[in-house]
Amino acid sequence: MSQTFQVALQKTVDHSYEIEIGEHLFPALLKDLQQGLVAGVSKYAVITDSTVEPLYGQPLLKLLREQGFVAELFVFPAGEKHKTRETKALLEDQLLERAYGRDSCIIAVGGGAVTDIAGFVAGTFGRGIPSLNVATTLLAAADASVGGKTGVNTPVATNLIGVFHQPRKVYIDLAAWRTLPPRELRSGLAETIKHACLADAEFFVYLEENMDKIISPEGELVLEPAVCERIALQNCAIKYRVVEQDEHESNLRQILNLGHTAGRALEAVSGYTLLHGEAVSVGLVIQARLAAKLGYMTAAEAARVEALLCKAGLPTAVPAGITNRMLVDKMYTDKKVRGGRIRFVFQEGIGAMKVFAGGTYSTPVDEETVLELLEEMRC
């Protein structure tokens, strides 16, 4: 005869944190640490990539040490193709070799790839240690500053291996945007446009009217301070409203995947020669045209989405070297796939999302319909 023992683990956990938006925020970070933002920490690990290291990694390390903090720098090669399990293991081995333990805190300094992999390390090292994010790109400010999703890519799929790990605080440094190549800034604009598409028609109009105050048609950075601040705040506010209701992506949070069913697939099959935002831009066009085809938005609304992406200097067509078959096959690795069927989330007009039967935000779309749409886009 067997017996059972009930392990009751119900608890309430407060994962709240603050996002500070401004310019040159290292002094604010140091002050926060001095005032006990992260308790019980004796060592800090600054994790960054090879591009950000000389710009922000080394300067932050110097400041930390000058203020008496024990800190070391951990650097991995820049680029989405290095956001892998192998890189995560290398960072973990380096932390262990330098005697980091559970009394450590990770400070991630960089773009989305850095905050993704550093957050994943923080979520599993010592079964979870605190972390801070210093977002140095518009993409990180738009996509990685709220929500706590971390992860790595594999040869099969992107971001399917990871954990939810909320940082203790996020710093969005607008001054860092001036150091970005235009292509990187545009990549962040894709996620910004995505947020407007899914939740804020007024913000969409604001972007239509103010895109030239961010970047010129010739690709020169303009970055008017008031516009940058508005963009940073709106990105955080829109994503927060979603994550607050669905921290672990059980349903509503799927809407943040707008444009990503095709976008993530395109990013992978391009061998990461396309930046994340560039691939998402094409994915947004694909979902908008599919939405118009399926009656969820008008052709005119879909055209506005495409026009705004073009105004931002982003690609809107699948590259010639990638076949429709290649792209669709890769879509089957998307995390929304259920029962072997590709699923999309769709806009309902501009500024709202389509809700399907049972209150779900994603719906299966037949492969033939997707292939037909992709063929039409090439005409």
Q: Three-class SS string for 230-248?
A: HHHHHHHHHHHHHHHHCCC
Claim to verify: residue 199 and residue 275 sit in the same structural domain = yes
Domain holding 167: CATH number? 3.40.50.1970
Asked whether residue 92 is domain-assigned, the answer is yes
Asked whether residue 68 is domain-assigned, the answer is yes
Contacts of 2 (CB under 8 A, 6+ apart): none
Q: Tell me, what's the pLDDT at 16?
A: 83
Strand runs labelled E in the chain: 18-22, 43-49, 71-76, 104-110, 131-135, 169-173, 343-344, 363-364
Claim to verify: residue 58 and residue 131 sit in the same structural domain = yes
Q: Tell me, what's the pLDDT at 85?
A: 96
Range of the domain at 213: 182-377
Q: Tell me, what's the pLDDT at 200?
A: 95
Claim to verify: residue 299 and residue 327 sit in the same structural domain = yes
Asked whether residue 240 is domain-assigned, the answer is yes
Q: Tell me, what's the pLDDT at 13?
A: 63
Asked whether residue 2 is domain-assigned, the answer is no
46 has which bridge partners? 73, 107
Q: Tell me, what's the pLDDT at 242?
A: 82
Given 157, 179, 201, the domain boundary residue is: 179
pLDDT below 70 — which residues of the chain? Answer: 10-14, 246-250
Claim to verify: residue 115 and residue 65 sit in the same structural domain = yes
> CB-side exposure of 143: number of CA atoms within 13 Å?
28
Claim to verify: residue 143 and residue 247 sit in the same structural domain = no
> CB-side exposure of 129: number of CA atoms within 13 Å?
22
Asked whether residue 236 is domain-assigned, the answer is yes
Domain holding 337: CATH number? 1.20.1090.10
Alpha-carbon distance 141 to 20, whole Å? 11
Alpha-carbon distance 6 to 374, whole Å? 53
Q: Model pTM?
A: 0.89
Overall number of domains in the chain? 2
Given 179, 199, 225, the domain boundary residue is: 179
Claim to verify: residue 171 and residue 320 sit in the same structural domain = no
Q: Tell me, what's the pLDDT at 255?
A: 87
Asked whether residue 242 is domain-assigned, the answer is yes
Claim to verify: residue 162 and residue 41 sit in the same structural domain = yes
Claim to verify: residue 286 and residue 199 sit in the same structural domain = yes
Asked whether residue 347 is domain-assigned, the answer is yes
Given 144, 179, 214, the domain boundary residue is: 179
Claim to verify: residue 280 and residue 367 sit in the same structural domain = yes
Claim to verify: residue 349 and residue 256 sit in the same structural domain = yes
Asked whether residue 6 is domain-assigned, the answer is no
Claim to verify: residue 216 and residue 284 sit in the same structural domain = yes
Q: Tell me, what's the pLDDT at 148?
A: 81
Claim to verify: residue 189 and residue 100 sit in the same structural domain = no
